Amino acid sequence: MIAGADPGSVDVEDLDGAVHRVSLLALDGPAPEPGEWLVVHSGYALERVDPAEAQAVLDDVRRALAGTASEAPAAPARSHGVRP
């Protein structure tokens, strides 16, 4: 996570490695530090998450996606990158 151009935002990396500018307007407390996990929705950081809890959720999501990948046909690759 790095500070965004706007002091009220930061750049965060999502689970797929894409970087997104996220507003801090809805987040209570000080600005997040590098390495912190955040719940983000619609471009807003909503809350901080404990790293162990975040890892557990990430593991669950990856297991769920791995299970559905073998059951469903492959979808065409698409890019959903955010442009600066």
Q: Could you tell me the residue ranges of all domains in the chain? A: 2-71
Closest CA to 61 of 12, 8, 28, 14: 14
For tokens 């999502």, the residue is 14
Q: What is the pLDDT of residue 81?
A: 36
Separation CA 80–CA 73 (nearest Å): 20
2-71 domain in CATH 3.10.450.40?
no
pLDDT by 10s per residue, the chain, length 84:
555 557 799 999 887 889 999 999 999 999 899 889 999 999 999 999 999 998 898 899 889 988 875 555 544 444 333 333
Closest CA to 49 of 6, 83, 15, 9: 15
0.75 cut: is pTM over it?
no
Q: What is the pLDDT of residue 78?
A: 42
